[in-house]
Structure 1
Amino acid sequence: MTPMRILGLAGLLSLALLAVLGPDTTGFDPARQDLRAILVPPGTYGHILGTDHLGRDLAARLLAGARITLALSAFAVLSAAIIGVGLGILAAWTGGAVDGALVTVSNGVLALPGLLLVLLMAAIVPDSWWTLYAGLALTLWVEFFRLSRTRSKVILRSPAVQASRMMGLPRAHIVSRHLWPDLSSQIVSLAAFGAATAVTALATLGFISVGLRPPTPEWGIMMSELLPSWRLAPWAIGAPIFALAFTVLSLRLAAGSQSEIEA
């Protein structure tokens, strides 16, 4: 494992720990307003990162936002991976009409920009985490499908798999002993890239007020709310920007290079 991957995993571990501990560790309710402490600097009145335009503690809101962002992204990527890998192996194994139909469906999804698909679904049913989850999963499964289908076609033609078939071993054995060991590391790396895409998409949708709505403590919503006050309190809008950048950077470092996935 490269030093950059170790650094990325360390960043993800720290983020996950902070998300699990949650806003309770700050001593403030992320939804509680204090109009006597609006946009106070970090360290004032016990607010580690200061407060926003409504006097809400920024540290508490960042940690609450980390819970929402990481949980929703992980749920969407996990679902996309299960669907994509399963359909990819199915397409490679059966071939013929099934393979052609699945490839056609995946190409159709790729023809529509991923963020636009999520945006359309979020606009139809606003303020719904379920809609965001479904839109992200429908966007991300294609890459898992393409990777697993391509690699599975090669592995299924290998002498080891041919010998297993001649011995009459069940398909589950072939998948667990031959396909998954080869696919697992690439799938994990692709999942990290997918999670980075999901985190960015959630923040983008929150910033343009599509998807989750205020007062939900989501990073994109926080940036949108604090943008008019950036001259008075640059530290306030800088907090969610830094959290988003750190999360995406950690995920991309943990994923490794694109060439490692394609190898």
Structure 2
Amino acid sequence: MTIFSGVHALQPVQKFGGLLLILLLVFAFLQPLYYPIDADIQDLGNMLQSSSISHWFGTDHFGRDMLARVASAIRLSFLLIVLSVGFALFFGLLMGVLSGYFGSWVDKICTFLCDIIMALPGLLFILLFAAIAPNTFWSLYLGISLVLWVEFFRMVRAMTQTIASSREIEASRLMGMDFFYCFKRHFLPKILPVVATLSAFAAGNAVLALATLGFINVGLRPPTAELGLMMTELFPYYYQAPFVFLQPIIAVFILVLSLQLLSGKMK
């Protein structure tokens, strides 16, 4: 299947979600080009200002430009999404297929690791990593990745076990085909569409997890531009500057909505 045929296979709601995500990423990643303002520069004489020619989205309680900070926070969130979902997808797919196909001790080890992670609620598990190494990006990345890995592993393992007992696999084995041929010919085409949908859904959960940690002041610390942390910092000024306070909330809403639509979960 080509890239263009894959795009045409998407539902209209998924295409809209993809377009919304692309527009948001263009806004965030091209900001240094079309709006070259440092997100950390303070101007205490220009605090909580409304939109103007010099500050399109206004300024926060330290006089920092809000457009630059929102764009920087979106870039940070998207980077964490790519790393976390990519890690969870790769190892979830690899270990899920090996566990479901070979079984035996491989399945026991992977299932035991999955049970350990599931013993604690996902957010609490991420909080443990954030508490061990506060104000570090890798602790959030590792905690979110492990929580997301469980979902990928369980889904891929269940599908692999079903496919492994099918007549197609039996025929390939009788013809002397090895595991790599079976993986490429039988497993991957059936698993990838489900995994792609799960990836978009998991990415939305990763954004919410990061924003929640920032809102309760766990994880990254000021002056880092992070959406949840910005909500906490601007909350005392919601009445004085409601438009400034709503900007990180709107950014989280659009980012999560686009990913949810892209996953096909909302129709």
Which TM bucket (shorter chain)? Answer: over 0.9
Tell me how far apart the structure 2 counterparts of residues 49 and 257 of structure 1 sit (CA, whole Å): 32
2:147 aligns with 139
1:203 aligns with 211
Identity of matched residues, %: 41
Q: Which amino acid aligns with 1:193?
A: F
1:9 aligns with 18
The 4+ residue runs of structure 1 with deviation greater than 3 A are none
Q: Which amino acid aligns with 2:113?
A: V
Q: Deviations over 1:26-57 (max 9, x none)?
A: 23110111122111111x24211111001111
Q: Which amino acid aligns with 1:144?
A: F
Aligned residue among 31, 35, 41 for 2:40: 31
Could you state the TM-score of these two structures normalised by the residue count of structure 1? Answer: 0.94
1:1-263 mapped onto 2 (5 Å cutoff) = 1-42=10-51, 44-257=52-265
Q: What SS class does the counterpart of residue 218 from structure 2 fall into?
A: coil
Tell me how far apart the structure 2 counterparts of residues 24 and 128 of structure 1 sit (CA, whole Å): 28
- How large is the Cα RMSD of the aligned pairs? 1.5
Q: What SS class does the counterpart of residue 46 from structure 2 fall into?
A: coil
Q: Which amino acid aligns with 2:60?
A: D
Q: Deviations over 1:231-257 (max 9, x none)?
A: 100001100000001101111111112
Tell me how far apart the structure 1 counterparts of residues 172 and 23 of structure 2 sit (CA, whole Å): 43
Is 1:122–1:131's contact at 8 Å kept on the other side of the alignment? yes
Q: Which amino acid aligns with 2:16?
A: L
Is 1:24–1:60's contact at 8 Å kept on the other side of the alignment? no
Is 1:11–1:250's contact at 8 Å kept on the other side of the alignment? yes
Is 1:49–1:236's contact at 8 Å kept on the other side of the alignment? yes
Q: Which amino acid aligns with 2:213?
A: L
Q: What SS class does the counterpart of residue 44 from structure 2 fall into?
A: coil
Structure 1: unaligned runs, 5 residues or longer: none
